[in-house]
Amino acid sequence: MSTPGISFAGKISPAKAGDPAREAQVERLSCDVCIVGAGAAGLSAAHAAATSGASVIVLDAFPRPGGQYYMQPPAEASASISGNPQVTAGATLIAEAERAGVRILSGREVWGVFPGGDLAGGRVPGRGVPAADFAEGVAGSNGFTLHAAGEDGAVRVTARSIIVATGAHDRVVPFPGWTLPGVMTPGAGQRLAKLSGTPPGRRTLIAGSGAFLLPVAASILKAGGQLAAVLEANDRPLAAAAIVARNPLIWREFARLAWPLWRARVPWYRGGMVVAALGDDRVRAAVIAPLDGRGTPDLTRTFEIGDIDALLVGYGFRPHIELTAAVGCAHDFDEAAGGWHCRVDPATAATTVPGVYAAGETGGIAGARPARLSGRIAGLAAAESLGFSDTSPERRRLVARRRGPAAFATALNRHFAPPRGLAAAITDDTVMCRCEDVTAGEVRAALADGADDAFGSKLWTRAGMGLCQGRVCGFGLASLIAADRDLDPEEVGFNTPRLPLRPVKLSTMQAALKE
């Protein structure tokens, strides 16, 4: 059936009549503030900037706004999916933003951002704008042009300021068999269950670390799936309980999520990790190893959990920093913030590039409540810097209100940090980079050959050079390189993305970049 090498590109088929013309249509819009991401942070930022008087456009990749936390099921969804409090709260947030005049463009993925917009007399972006212009502050004075494309058409937005609220994605680490169909991230399982009402499999094993495993398990049960078990790597439940106990705000949500698991008698293991997935053309079983005191799996004492057709493994989240990295913002490393994240000023959510703000998880993993607050801070500050109302007293209050929930998130992130010895499960034939099929053996050979860091291993092996641009393998590669070279993960660095940030048709790109 398959033809290795061109399996997904498929056949070259002649373009249908009318298609190229339609694709080449690029809607041109301009606004004061353009926000990327319509999740908790982006929607809050949009509402805040619009109520300050700014014109606001939000670009979002998904068919409907809401992001992950406030995910909105399709209109046809049954009441059992659409009737939960998160969906209702998200719908309110969306309606409030739209009432304030925000224009939300769904189904548009941002593939490029250039300094200079054509509204403030600035340079019209087009050919060969050097990335260094961002760093030199050209962007701040002249605005930006963002390019997005997708299902619902292509758009080019010129904006005086941009707010990056692109959220986060699951932090995964490779293990033998992790490319088998049925092995997914917890986030994938959550979306399948919450959006489509479909559990990721008939019988699912959820593993990894972090508080997110709990809502994923609850969603899968609600969608009618069975759970083989939940396996949490962290082995200090009392410490976790103490963190939760100190934060009454989340007791209710915790109880709502934990109750169905308790009622369904789902086995809850802790102190172990998945070291292999087994199966021929799809996952059938998982191999579990206990973790020792240093967070290293003991491969001599493994056991199997069989009769599964879905295995979800994730160790918390990583901030989505492609856009902020592409425009040259400074980034910092902090494991309790999800690793590399965009550096922001807490009082304004401003990044180190003038005119660019980062809200929510992009500035460090902290969850939905802090994301809403930082979104509001960013929206108010961005509008204020463009000459709209002075909101510094409100922003000071928001910063104070964000402190508690953000500290809670940091405590949880620190508690549920990925096990230190994760990379010990990675055998030489384990695929590291899924896009390019690069194995750990190839990466280790490159390291022995002189590739010292993330960038070096990319140049040597192509790991991280595929369609996902290292979003999936970045953490795993960093863990492997750090273990192999005896480095701190920070020293390994991260690979900055390349434009286009997402695949885009050349005809669309050509039309979008035309002056």
Partner 1 sequence: MSAIVITVDGDRLEARAGMTVAAALIAADRPVLRRSPRAGAPRGVHCGMGHCFECLVTIDGTPGRRACLVEVRDGMAVETGR
Site residues, partner 1 (CB under 8 A): 1-11, 13, 16, 61-63, 68, 73-78, 109, 151, 169-170, 179-185, 187-192, 195-198, 200-202, 281-282, 309, 320, 431, 434-437, 466-468, 471-472, 503
Between strands 144-149 and 154-164, the pairing is antiparallel
Measured from the CB atom, the residue of 11 and 294 that comes closer to partner 1 is 11
CB of 321 vs partner 1, minimal distance in Å: 12
Measured from the CB atom, the residue of 160 and 458 that comes closer to partner 1 is 458
CB of 19 vs partner 1, minimal distance in Å: 9
Measured from the CB atom, the residue of 102 and 195 that comes closer to partner 1 is 195
How many of the other CB atoms lie within 10 Å of CB of 56? 28
CB of 443 vs partner 1, minimal distance in Å: 14
Measured from the CB atom, the residue of 64 and 402 that comes closer to partner 1 is 64
Measured from the CB atom, the residue of 2 and 300 that comes closer to partner 1 is 2
CA distances, 169 to each of 301, 318, 347, 422, 472 (Å): 31, 5, 25, 18, 9
Measured from the CB atom, the residue of 172 and 336 that comes closer to partner 1 is 172
Burial letters 398-437, b for 16+ CB under 10 A, else e: bbeebeebbebbbbbbebbbbbebbbbbbeeebbbbbbbe
Spatial distance between the Cα atoms of 400 and 118, rounded to a whole number of angstroms? 38
Measured from the CB atom, the residue of 402 and 444 that comes closer to partner 1 is 444
CB of 188 vs partner 1, minimal distance in Å: 3
Phi, psi of 64 (to 5 degrees): -135, 150
Tell me, what amino acid is at 467? L
CB of 160 vs partner 1, minimal distance in Å: 28
Measured from the CB atom, the residue of 156 and 320 that comes closer to partner 1 is 320
Between strands 431-433 and 285-290, the pairing is unpaired
Rounded-to-10 torsion of CA 340, 342, 343, 349? -150
Tell me, what amino acid is at 465? M
CB of 8 vs partner 1, minimal distance in Å: 4
CB of 213 vs partner 1, minimal distance in Å: 15
Edge-to-edge strand order for the sheet containing 183-184?
Answer: 183-184, 310-315, 203-209, 226-232, 268-270
Measured from the CB atom, the residue of 10 and 18 that comes closer to partner 1 is 10
Positive/negative CA dihedral, 100, 169, 185, 252: negative
Measured from the CB atom, the residue of 195 and 406 that comes closer to partner 1 is 195
The token duo for 178 is: 């992790």
Spatial distance between the Cα atoms of 395 and 383, rounded to a whole number of angstroms? 12
CB of 217 vs partner 1, minimal distance in Å: 16
Residues 497 and 469 sit within 8 Å (Cβ to Cβ): yes
Looking at the DSSP bridge assignments, the partners of residue 207 are: 231, 313
CB of 382 vs partner 1, minimal distance in Å: 26
3-class secondary-structure state, position 126: coil
CB of 26 vs partner 1, minimal distance in Å: 19
Residues 140 and 117 sit within 8 Å (Cβ to Cβ): no
Residue with the two structure tokens 């949880």:
412
Measured from the CB atom, the residue of 105 and 195 that comes closer to partner 1 is 195
Spatial distance between the Cα atoms of 292 and 272, rounded to a whole number of angstroms? 9
Measured from the CB atom, the residue of 44 and 439 that comes closer to partner 1 is 439
Element of type H or E holding 58: strand 56-59
CB of 110 vs partner 1, minimal distance in Å: 12
Helices in 359-499 by DSSP H: which ranges?
Answer: 368-385, 392-415, 440-449, 454-461, 474-485, 489-492
CB of 441 vs partner 1, minimal distance in Å: 13
Q: Please classify residue 132 by burial: count the beta carbons closer than 10 Å to its beta carbon, then call 0-12 exposed, 13-18 middle and 19+ buried.
A: exposed
| HSE value, Cβ hemisphere, 13 Å, CA-based, for 272 | 23
How many of the other CB atoms lie within 10 Å of CB of 334? 15
